[in-house]
Structure 1
Amino acid sequence: MFRITARVPRKALAIGTPTAWGATVLAYQLTCPLAQREGVCARVVSGALLLAVGAGLLLHTRRTLLRELRQARTVAGAAQSVLLRPPPARVDGVRIAAAQLSADRGARVGGDLYEVVATEHGLRVLIGDVRGHGIGALGTVAAVLGSFREAAHDEPELGGVLRRLDRALARHLGERGAHDDSAEDFVTALLLEITPDGEITALNCGHPWPFLLCDGGVEPLARADPLPPVGPFPLPGDLTPERCGVFLPGDVLVLHTDGVEDARDPAGRFFPLRATLAALADRLPAAPETTLRLLFSALLRHTRGRPADDVALVVLRNDRARVTCGPLAAQASDQGGAAPGTRPAAG
């Protein structure tokens, strides 16, 4: 009841104020003797009155629109904070920091998404990018994230998780209807699985590969060609995940959306993501929050604070204990292999 009564005065004020001003002008024209005269003085007074009323109406309309825009942004920001909730600071021995930045100035809503979930199958990570940005992308973000949060626990294989995401997106777009142009949306998505011993497998659907920071160097996690984005094309029958090596203690994974690499400065130069990460790799082991803050600061300096696309970053640092000794290490050495918790020698 309180909400209903609180809205009535505001709506009445929004309608009643312009009506009162219009009635004032009409009453002046009909009843004031000065308005009936043909002299210059009468015309100046009438014109000044009309100008004042017109300016008042414009200011009133502007305030009303700004108030509604602020309310819409507040509601959209609250909705996204529920959908794109911050990941836990530490999951299964892996420290995490993540954030997104919308391309809409003054808005907190974007089309990028991410999630990190600890499951019995390992640590599973999703990062994706919905076509478009702003409030219109929230529905697709909700459909994909909701499906992933369930499938990550239910599906023993990473391919099963991806198929669940594909079905959820198809249902969501089908419900929006073919008459809606945004029903042709698609999502680029990267699924990672990190096992307790650090083995990384991935399924990549049109998304940029993450970068691995280790031993002072920076390398793409993989170089294989990705699958098509989720949505416009059927998934292939074989969804064997790509083996991407080992995530060792002290290593850092930086996942990003294409808004990072595609960001340009006023001269049209792309953001040097790999060079920026190489500079940050010399500072390891830095906290993921520090790495995230430095990356966003460098990106905003490059774009003069005006990125053209939504941006999302997820930083993972392996804080698990390193295992380098004991019977397993000796056995691996005798067999010419690498001990658990150590990186296999190159070549």
Structure 2
Amino acid sequence: MIRIRGRVPRKVLALGLPTAWGAVAISYKMTCPLAQQTGFEARLATSAVFFAVGTGLILHVRKALLRELRQIRQVAGVAQSALLRPLPPRIDGLNVAAAQLSADRGASVGGDLYEVIATEHGVRAVMGDVRGHGLAAISTAAAVLGSFREAVHDEPELGCVLRRLERAHARHLRDRARAEHPSSGAEPEHPVAEEFVTVLLLEIRQDGALYALNCGHPWPYLLSGPRVDPLTRADPLPPLGPFPLPPHLPEVPCGHLLPGETLVLHTDGAEDARDAHGRFFSLRAALEKAADQVPQALLGSVFTALLRHSTGTPKDDIALLVLQNDRSQRRPLGARGTARPATTHPQPTTHL
């Protein structure tokens, strides 16, 4: 109730001030003897009065628009931070850093998604990329992230988590299809039939053992000392959307993340960024230069190099997630720091 009472005087003032300025100008023109004269001095005075009134109106409208814009940005910032929540710097012995760059000017999030959650099954992370960008992509990312945040605590296997994400994505597409039906009068920016999302699921257990499931997403890079290698070269599954998941979803073993080693998850926008000559950005080379840095500094170095390469805002959304093992433990028997390839049946891949 207090808020309502506080807004009424502001609205009255917003309408009353321009009205008062207009009344002053009309009163001057209708009643002031000077305004009725046709001499040069009289015309000059009349012009000065109307110029002052016009300037006051413009400044008032500009101030009101800027205030509304600040309020809209504050609301958008709260909504966007709720979608991609700021990650804590440390999760169950892992140093964590993440950042996202939207291709849409003025937006802090886009179609990329990530999350890291400590569960009784280990630390579970997701990195995803929705086709396209804009509001439609943000709503799809919200549906997938919401399902992940709930499923990682309920499901003991990554395969079951992935199936939950698939069902959430399918429900979201059905809802969008009803909203974008021709009878609604809305013209869809991206038809639902063409919608898909790439998803990478990771599980890091207490002993550093790594397991993954990948649906059409780029594999992360493993930083072990000065070496930078893909985590694995196993063929990913198709993205969520165009094709159903196979009946059997075995987790892909990816070795161990040893103390001091770092994983860098990314969306394909990082490696698809081009310079003025059409050359792609080398994420691997940028990581090699920053491999000895802490996660937050590593993110800053990579984004600086990427923006310098693309001479400004890139054409696609970009997200990076850094996970560094800071646990104190002995090296697991038979574990290797570098990635070892896992054998899976080849699957068709789709790139955004």
TM class by smaller structure:
0.7 to 0.9
Q: Which residue of 2 aligns with 1:61?
A: 61
- The aligned runs of 1:136-215 (5 Å cut-off) are 137-176=137-176, 177-178=179-180, 179=186, 181=188, 184=192, 186-215=196-225
Q: How far apart, CA to CA, are the structure 2 residues paired with 1:211 and 1:346?
A: 12
Corresponding residue for 1:291? 298
Distance 1:81 1:153 in 2: 22
> 182-191 or 244-253: which moved more?
182-191
Alpha carbons 1:113, 1:128 under 8 Å: kept: yes
- The answer on whether the counterparts of 1:73 and 1:108 sit within 8 Å (CA) in structure 2 is no
Farther off after superposition, 121-130 or 55-64:
55-64
1:75 aligned onto 2:69: no
- Whether 1:254 aligns to 2:248 is no
Q: What is the one-letter code of the residue matched to 1:288?
A: P
Q: Is the 8 A contact 1:323 1:341 kept in 2?
A: no
Deviations 1:137-168 (A, max 9, x none): 54433322221011112122222212212222
Superposition deviation, residue 125 in structure 1: 0.7
CA drift of 1:220 comes to: 1.6
Number of the residue aligned with 2:335: 341
Larger mean CA deviation between 150-159 and 44-53 belongs to 44-53
Specify the SS of the correspondent of 1:181.
coil
Q: Which residue of 2 aligns with 1:10?
A: 10
Q: Which moved more, 1:206-215 or 1:146-155?
A: 206-215
Matched, 1:302 2:296: no
More divergent stretch after superposition (3-12 vs 184-193): 184-193
CA contact (8 A) 2:129 2:197 kept: yes
- Aligned counterpart, 1:332: none
Pick from 196, 206, 223: which aligns with 2:233? 223
Unpaired stretches in structure 2, ≥5 consecutive residues = 181-185, 342-352
Partner residue of 1:27?
Answer: 27
**Contact 1:100–1:112, Cα closer than 8 Å, also in 2:** yes
* Relative contact order, higher structure (CA 8 A, sep 6+): 2
1:335 is matched with: none
Residue 126 of structure 1, CA deviation = 0.5
Contact 1:249 1:341 in 2 (8 A): no
Q: Percent identity?
A: 62
Cα displacement (A) at 1:343: 5.0
1:183-228 per-residue CA deviation (whole Å, 9 max, x = no partner) reads 7454332111223343333222332221111242111223344444
Query: Per the alignment, do residues 345 and 161 of structure 1 end up closer, same or farther by CA in structure 2, a change over 3 Å counting?
Result: closer
Cα distance, 1:69–1:226 mapped onto 2, change above 3 Å: farther
Distance 1:345 1:306 in 2: 33
Q: Relative to structure 1, is the Cα distance of residues 345 and 207 closer, same or farther in structure 2, using a 3 angstrom cutoff?
A: closer
Determine helix, strand or coil for the equivalent of 1:159.
Answer: helix
Question: In the TM superposition, what is the alpha-carbon distance from 1:238 to its structure 2 partner?
Answer: 4.2
2: CA distance between counterparts of 1:313 and 1:57?
A: 46
TM-score by length of structure 2 reads 0.80
Q: Is the 8 A contact 2:232 2:340 kept in 1?
A: no
Aligned to 2:326: 319
Residue identity matched to 2:78: A
CA contact (8 A) 2:129 2:198 kept: yes
* Pair 1:19–1:140, CA change in 2 (3 A): farther
Unpaired runs of 5+ residues, structure 1, are 330-338
CA contact (8 A) 1:197 1:340 kept: no
Q: What number of residue pairs does the alignment pair up?
A: 331
CA contact under 8 A between 2:112 and 2:317: conserved in structure 1?
yes
Report the RMSD for the aligned CA atoms in angstroms.
3.2
> CA offset at residue 275 of structure 1?
0.6
- Give the Å deviation of 1:73: 1.3
For 1:61 and 1:232, the matched residues in 2 are separated by 49
After superposing the two structures, state which structure 1 stretch, 172-181 or 159-168, moved more.
172-181
Q: Which TM-score applies when normalising by structure 1?
A: 0.81
Once the two structures are TM-superposed, the CA of residue 276 in structure 1 deviates from its matched residue by 0.9
Deviation for aligned residue 1:303: 3.9
Cα distance, 1:315 vs structure 2 = 0.8
Distance, in Å, in 1 between the alignment partners of 2:88 and 2:340 is 34
CA gap 1:262/1:20 in 2 versus in 1, 3 angstroms: farther
Distance 2:303 2:189 in 1: 29
